[in-house]
Amino acid sequence: MERFGQDTTFRIGGDASRVAFIDSLPTLKHEFSRVKENGEPFFVLGGGSNLLVLDSGFAGAVFKMGIRGTEIIHEDSSSVVVKVGAGEVWDEFVAWTVEREFWGIENLSCIPGTVGAAPVQNIGAYGVEAKDVIESVEVFNAKTGEVSKMTHDECSFGYRDSFFKRQGNKHFVVISVAFKLTKIPQPNVGYKDVASFFTEREIKNPGIIDIRSAIVVIRSAKFPNLNKEGTAGSFWKNPVVSNSEYERLVTLYPGLPAFPTSPGYVKVPLAWILDNVCGLKGYTQDGVRLFEKQPLVLVAQFNARAEDVVGLAKKVELAVFSKTQIQIEREVEYVG
């Protein structure tokens, strides 16, 4: 058995039968031929920031994605397309783009994990989602051994969702991602926390470096120190409800915020519900708690068990349903 749970940002959970580091496409192909021959289950691990490994561990092969490389494949006077290896650290790539004043992902600063996870999860924060800038995704088909390129539309992006997350598609492994970024300044500072940051400091025309710096400060205040305790970031998705359902909820809970999504639907902040409706901000049970600065974040002491995290998560989900009739959906994936 080899370490698995300890190599996630939760730092809890069991081990895997074996772990292989994938630093190139030939290595990836070799390892997949091995699991195919042995009939082994597999799991592709990026930065380990959006999953919980169960205490029983994983009876199969874990492939630690380490394919690197950042390359400009097209550039003109107004835009640039950058191809990035799936194993690159996401925030290092964001810093690389900010340094060159390539606009588009500065609001996604400080999100833990690797580039390969960006299209899978359609990561998002502060008014921006990865789908806004992804042009194409290069994938390896573990069933056929073929490498192909998927267009933006073929990725079927949704809210914290994509083609790659859905059942039956897990054999498509992200190798690299092509991002189309702009050289024309396009500050996105409408999100409440970001707008407040600049208003308080009387910064009227923030540049790309200012925006990244703001996101770093804002996120640092909302998320725990990973050197002291474990977390997978936001544990649940924010619920999306119909306008009529929102009217019912806001009658019961005046002040409930809402943000328009698709026609006829709004997104409501789960953190507000957990705090103001359920009174669960900071709630602690068996070494696991809802973070006192952001209750959407579930935090675990390093000596906690995955079972303790699952137990608290279930309690929270039942409490939200009891108060609102909303069945909240996990953003974190359980493995094992």
* Domain map (residue ranges) of the chain: 5-65, 70-182, 230-335
282 φψ region: left (φ > 0), alpha (ψ -120 to 50), beta (else): left
Angle at 159 between CA 153 and CA 163, to 5 degrees: 45
Q: Are 258 and 266 in contact (CB under 8 A)?
A: yes
311: its two tokens? 């137990």
Active site residues: 160, 234, 331
The CA distance from 228 to 223, in Å, is: 12
Q: Does domain 230-335 have CATH number 3.90.78.10?
A: yes
The hierarchical CATH code for the domain 5-65 is: 3.30.43.10
pLDDT tens-digit profile, the chain (336 residues): 999 999 999 999 999 999 999 999 999 999 999 999 999 999 999 999 999 999 999 999 999 999 999 999 999 999 999 999 999 999 999 999 999 999 999 999 999 999 999 999 999 999 999 999 999 999 999 999 999 999 999 999 999 999 999 989 999 999 999 999 999 999 999 998 999 999 999 999 999 999 999 999 999 988 998 889 999 999 999 999 999 999 999 999 999 999 999 899 999 999 999 999 999 999 999 999 999 999 999 999 999 999 999 999 999 999 999 999 999 999 999 999
Calpha distance 108→212 (Å, rounded): 8
CATH number of 70-182: 3.30.465.10
CA 258-261-265 angle, 5° bins: 75
